[in-house]
Structure 1
């Protein structure tokens, strides 16, 4: 057990020697023969537990010394030791020096040892109490910090929930408009064309019948393609049937055709490294990124590169369009209530990966995704 530090101050050298011999086995003893030397020791040792000082010393009394020491060490137990018993000295010791005990010389070793033992217990008790109070204050501070953080997360969750509901409603509205404007109009056209075809059946003009049949076939093909596109956007069934790699290639081919943007694509080997669930998440991430490029970048070409590492997949998507400033984009999305970039980041986080976005005005944008492989997870029960 570490010994407590004790400072003994007395202008008589023999008293310093006798005190050190008597108590050195139990305490780490420091001695000083003047108040000035005692102050230097206290300044260099702020963990002294007990200070015993003679009252009548040349240059500085014991009470004056304890007054000065209190500025540097408030926790030390202070004891006055003197051969004089003037009432004024006792009152000064109590009022100014804040002493723990007043002892009259000559001291008796056993009696002084009992005083020191009690003083040590008192010092350790005060120190432990301070430690507990500090821990309690730290716990309270940490609890308040966590409560504030939880409140912030709750508000963020509420905000995201509202935006999610709005996004769902917007998605329903978009699907409804696509069904009405695309498939609905095609079906109306089919109905009119079919009536015309029926009318041409009664005619002897073979060319007109053939023309009507060709128009009906073309309209049916457009309706079928529109239906497939809507279904693909809602749920990529092709992943279930033919796998992620083929589904991604078909999506990029359709994107290139629909937007007139050249997609420079290397070989794709992704599906074997990810579970089915993660494949769907990754498909949505790439779909969102690429569609945003098609809608907003104004680029004529996209580079789509994939690199499989030992335990992760790196996907880099680069366009050469108008670019943007990240702060402006975040503010714009917040004002419009868009979930685009937020949704992408959240999906990447779900996959345990990271996404880095770099953009330059009039030069283009690069999206870099780094995703840990999860293929082994899909084999677990």
Structure 2
């Protein structure tokens, strides 16, 4: 094969291998990035919508609570219809209720119930006298502020929330209940805001019964009609503290339409609602599919170009020599403009560049004179053009200056941020409307007053800082600071202050100050610092576990190496010697020696096979993979019993099906770890192993009658584990929702109890003969 063909095959093979690897790695990385971005976006969306809903509920609760404390309602409930003042009190209450229904942004009906649940006053007079004693807003409102979830109001057939609160006398005795009917439209606006959710994303609320209580993006008329499967949602118990934060990892489930979606949810404990944010899987991972197609197309294009390039590789090797030869002939003819140099760094390239330098030196003087003449003429033209441009710029600047002075007033008054204009003595000359909104002062109230006073400063120290700030502005020209300021009503809040001097004819005529309310920004920064602290803590834990995993891998490799070298290697060496002896016996026709050597070789081969089988079982039991946990443990128990001469009782209770693969591996490794520790440290002669299925969880109990240890000593726990360690095993069990309990005392044996959530798979049939001591119940 020619060198040219060899180079082409090597280059193309390398290119194909690298390209395929890059495509697979890129797809995997991009898939993880997309999933992480979608997860973060859905979590942020769920958190934001949940906070808005809580804010709306809290505001409405506060309104009904404040109304329940009004003396107007209390006086009516303390009066009787026979009193002369009763009509006056009744009219006041009616007027108050009607005003509440008219003025409230979402409240469309309000009424008062007496202690028997009868409507005695209502913004709708036709409701007076109705019995509401069995309604939940009356029963719940007698105790405290109560919210009745979304329902269809029979009064106006509107989707409604009801807020109720008790009306108490001075001795906190119940007089009645006030109820506000509020439109559920604000909830719909919050959840139907699809910003950041793409074309198929949506957020919706589900009540405690699993029915949607906000509109769907895809189906009409779903409120209180569409049932949502909550089996994938963890509903917190009443004994647990409320956790409203969304799940940190997105789930791929089928939604109420039967379509696969990426979904997160958050719980609103007060109403026992679930806010679900989700997006279709097809839309979420569309960029991954597109990237894969693009990478394949790029790979094909690169492959075609590589084929073309490699075809010319051999010819390009001789091309520099041919060009150098032609250049030398041209220079010999007197053509000093011909260039023979190339970019190569070998001897041919150095020689060609030396010829070029020779021709350049001959032409240098003449070219320098010509270049100088051309540059001089060019500079004259450029200078003339610059003068013309300067004149035009000056005229344009004068026009823009006039225009900017006219626009300053409109920009000042229309600026979205608070602006104040003070003179060189810090007296206030003008403010815009935003300043009035932010601080509560009108221009009439503070015009002419010194800004470095108690108007907006919370303390004497703040006033002094303000004076220093003005000095910095006048000396440096611009300054930006974060400070605390006070509103007219005494409220303190953080602001970002930007100030710059106003210069007219190079003289300071005042200072323009801009105040921006950064309350929300400061709160976000504080939350960000808390998040960073949590992230640092998590990274520290991950580094510790990673280090332990690396050490464990090295220890397993060392064990495998020792087994191969010490056991298998010695047997193979003996087999090699026997084969040599057999070969010599055959050559010398000493056949009487062959049988003994062959039997010895066969025995050594059986030992090698048994050592390899044991090593394979230690690394990964084939019974565990093919038949499941119970057969694998049964075989391991029999092998351990014969090897260590320890009596073992193995019991299986109520486990007829296979467990989840990950749970089976964890249980099998823990049993191996525990049995290894017993043989090394416990000095026990009896072990009890029980595997039991208890409805929603599987329990593993391991007990021995050995010498035991002190469970309060962490170093003792670490010493007992030659793998990940019992402490790290506990972390691994907890990551799949389980827990590990260790009980031991000196000279009284050790007990390990593992509990983890059960996930059954295929039916389990235990092969006969795997465990004579196995008892299945």
Superposition TM-score tier, normalisation by shorter sequence:
0.5 to 0.7
**What are the within-5 Å matches in structure 2 for residues 40-55 of structure 1?**
none
**What are the within-5 Å matches in structure 2 for residues 61-76 of structure 1?**
none
Q: Which residues of structure 1 form unaligned runs of 5+? A: 6-24, 27-121
- Counterpart CA distance in 2 for 1:359 and 1:376 is 34
1:359 aligns with 2:751: no
Task: Tell me whether 357-366 or 230-239 shows the greater mean CA deviation.
Answer: 230-239
1:168 aligns with 2:515: no
- Residue 249 of structure 1 corresponds to 634
Shift, 1:267, TM fit: 3.9
- Residue 284 of structure 1, aligned match among 669, 688, 706: 669
- Residue 264 of structure 1, aligned match among 620, 643, 649: 649
Q: Deviation digits for residues 113-140 of structure 1, max 9, x if unmatched?
A: xxxxxxxxx999657979x999999877
Shift, 1:203, TM fit: 5.5
Secondary structure in 1 matching 2:691: strand
- Counterpart CA distance in 2 for 1:303 and 1:335 is 19
- Counterpart CA distance in 2 for 1:340 and 1:171 is 13
- Residue 19 of structure 1 corresponds to none
- Residue 318 of structure 1, aligned match among 703, 706, 710: 703
Q: Confirm or deny: 8 A CA contact 2:742 2:750 kept in the other structure.
A: yes
**What are the within-5 Å matches in structure 2 for residues 177-196 of structure 1?**
177-196=562-581
Secondary structure in 1 matching 2:731: helix
- Counterpart CA distance in 2 for 1:156 and 1:312 is 28
Secondary structure in 2 matching 1:327: coil
Shift, 1:292, TM fit: 2.2
Change (3 A) 1:335 1:360: closer
Shift, 1:299, TM fit: 1.2
Q: Confirm or deny: 8 A CA contact 2:628 2:664 kept in the other structure.
A: no
1:348 aligns with 2:765: no
**What are the within-5 Å matches in structure 2 for residues 291-306 of structure 1?**
291-306=676-691
- Residue 370 of structure 1 corresponds to 755
- Counterpart CA distance in 1 for 2:488 and 2:758 is 56
Shift, 1:358, TM fit: 0.5
- Residue 225 of structure 1 corresponds to 610
Q: Deviation digits for residues 151-188 of structure 1, max 9, x if unmatched?
A: 22211211211221122122112211111111111111
Shift, 1:371, TM fit: 1.8
- Residue 659 of structure 2, aligned match among 274, 278, 290: 274
Change (3 A) 1:282 1:135: farther
Q: CA RMSD in A?
A: 3.9
1:213 aligns with 2:625: no
Q: Confirm or deny: 8 A CA contact 2:652 2:692 kept in the other structure.
A: no
- Residue 328 of structure 1, aligned match among 691, 704, 713: 713
Shift, 1:275, TM fit: 2.0
Shift, 1:210, TM fit: 3.0
Change (3 A) 1:376 1:221: closer
Change (3 A) 1:323 1:136: farther
- Counterpart CA distance in 2 for 1:150 and 1:377 is 40
Change (3 A) 1:310 1:337: closer
TM-score in terms of structure 1 length: 0.58
Q: Confirm or deny: 8 A CA contact 1:304 1:318 kept in the other structure.
A: yes
